[in-house]
Structure 1
Amino acid sequence: MNPHPSPPQSEDQLLARAADLCGQNFAQLAHIAGISVPADLRRDKGWVGQLLEWHLGASAGSRPEPDFPHLGIELKTLPMGYQGQPLETTFVCVAPLTGITNVTWQQCHLRHKLARVLWLPIEGERDIPLAQRRVGPAILWSPNAQEEAQLKADWEELMESIALGESQHISASRGEVLQLRPKAAHGQVKTRAFDSEGNAIQAQPKGFYLKKSFTGAIIARHFSVDQSN
Structure 2
Amino acid sequence: MKTTPASESELLERARSIAGVSFGELAEQANMKVPENLKRDKGWVGQLLEWHLGAAAGSKPVQDFPEIGVELKSIPVGYNGKPLESTFVCVAPLTGITGLTWETSHIRNKLSRVLWLPVEGEREIPVAERRVGSPLIWSPSEEEETLLRNDWEELMDLIALGGVNQITARSGEVLQIRPKAANSRAKTEAYGASGQPIKTLPRGFYLRAKFTSYILDTYFA
Asked whether the two chains share a fold, i.e. TM above 0.5, the reply is yes
2:51 corresponds to which letter in structure 1?
A: W
Match of 2:59 among 48, 55, 62: 62
Structure 1 gaps, min length 5: 225-229
Residue 58 of structure 2 contacts residue 64 of structure 2 at CA under 8 Å; is this kept in 1? yes
3-state SS of 2:204 partner: strand
Number of the residue aligned with 1:227: none
1:111-150 C-alpha deviation (Å, 9 max, x unpaired): 0110000000000000111000000000000000110000
TM-score of the superposition, structure 2-length normalised?
Answer: 0.99
C-alpha contact 1:168 1:204 (8 A) present in aligned 2? no
Report if aligned partners of 1:73, 1:116 keep a CA contact under 8 Å in 2. yes
Instruction: Give the secondary-structure state (helix, strand or coil) at the position aligned to 1:48.
Output: helix
Divergent runs of 4+, >6 A = none
2: CA distance, partners of 1:36 / 1:98: 38
Q: Secondary structure at the match of 2:103?
A: helix
User: Cα offset for 1:42?
Assistant: 1.6
Q: Structure 2: how far apart are the matches of 1:223 and 1:120?
A: 11
Deviation at 1:223, TM superposition (A): 2.9
Match of 1:182 among 179, 182, 188: 179
Give the equivalent residue in structure 2 for 1:144: 141
CA distance in 1, matches of 2:198, 2:17: 49
Between the two proteins, the alignment pairs up a number of residues equal to: 221
1:74–1:114: 8 Å Cα contact kept in structure 2?
yes
What is the TM-score normalised by the length of structure 1? 0.95
Q: CA deviation at 1:201?
A: 0.9
Deviation of 1:29 after TM superposition, in Å, equals 0.4
User: What secondary structure does 1:106 align onto?
Assistant: coil
C-alpha distance in structure 2 between counterparts of 1:124 and 1:144, whole Å: 27
**1:62, distance to aligned residue in structure 2 (A):** 0.6
CA contact (8 A) 1:80 1:86 kept: yes
1:103 paired with 2:100, answer yes
Supply the RMSD in Å over aligned alpha carbons. Answer: 0.7
